């Protein structure tokens, strides 16, 4: 995917990435590589692929960054309006349903992007959404991007229900590292990790690859 600087026009290119989400005992761990690609070229090594919607919701993105950022901005506005009107934060299922409806209503000219949405309001929950609004609630982990198959083998082999946040972070790093070794579209300066807890969202320092 290709990011843009403030004031620049959004451009879409053939993209690739690896993003991971893991449900731990008391948190959800989101992780993503940081490489943006333009065809077979690396166009950016510090691309952000995890975005907060509010203090309780966050998404990973894969695909066209222009399409993804339009929807991220829309979700942020809608989450703020919901909280102002109802005096309570939007829960994860409601946000996922809203995003699903938007994606499906544009399926004839789709947003070329895939989201993994995680949040804590109403309990920790995780959803995967495809470009036509298909929505799946995940109970263990989720993944997206060109390195998914490589990361999935690590997740399948090592995921355990009720694992600690620390173990989930390690597993997420291992999965992204496995994808980077074989997927030419996964890379960048390191691994971005965000931890969603019941009362806050923590963004960790960038992790270097093994």
Q: From residue 74, how far is each of 6, 34, 79, 95, 187 by CA, in Å?
A: 17, 23, 9, 11, 28
Helix (H) or strand (E) holding 206: none
**Angle value at C-alpha 76, between 70 and 78, nearest 5 degrees:** 100
Measured CA to CA, the distance from residue 111 to residue 150 in angstroms comes to 25
Q: Is 17 among the residues known to form the active site?
A: yes
Residue (of 129, 113, 140, 122) closest to 21 by Cα position = 140
Q: Of the listed 15, 17, 19, 92, which one is catalytic?
A: 17
Q: Please provide the distance, in angstroms rounded to a whole number, between the alpha carbons at the two ends of the chain.
A: 23
Q: Contact 94/154 with Cβ under 8 angstroms?
A: no
Alpha-carbon distance of 8 to 203, in angstroms, equals 26
Could you list the active site residues?
17
């Amino acid at each position: 995917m290709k990011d843009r600087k403030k004031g620049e026009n959004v451009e879409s290119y053939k993209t690739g990435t690896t993003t991971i989400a893991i449900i731990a005992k008391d948190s959800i761990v989101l992780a993503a590589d940081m490489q943006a690609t333009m065809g077979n070229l690396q166009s950016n090594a510090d691309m952000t692929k995890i975005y907060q919607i509010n203090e309780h919701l966050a998404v990973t993105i894969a695909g066209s960054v222009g399409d993804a950022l339009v929807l991220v901005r829309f979700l942020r506005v809608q989450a703020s309006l919901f909280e102002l009107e109802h005096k309570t934060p939007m829960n994860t299922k409601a946000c996922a349903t809203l995003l699903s409806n938007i994606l499906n209503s544009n399926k004839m000219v789709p947003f070329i992007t895939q989201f993994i949405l995680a949040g804590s309001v109403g309990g920790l929950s995780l959803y995967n959404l495809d470009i036509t609004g298909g929505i799946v609630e995940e109970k263990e982990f989720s993944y997206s991007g060109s390195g998914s198959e490589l990361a999935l083998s690590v997740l399948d082999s090592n995921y355990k229900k009720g694992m600690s946040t620390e173990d989930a972070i390690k597993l997420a790093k291992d999965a992204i590292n496995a994808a980077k070794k074989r997927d030419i579209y996964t890379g960048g300066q390191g691994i971005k990790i965000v931890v969603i807890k019941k009362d806050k969202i923590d963004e960790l320092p960038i992790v270097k690859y093994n």
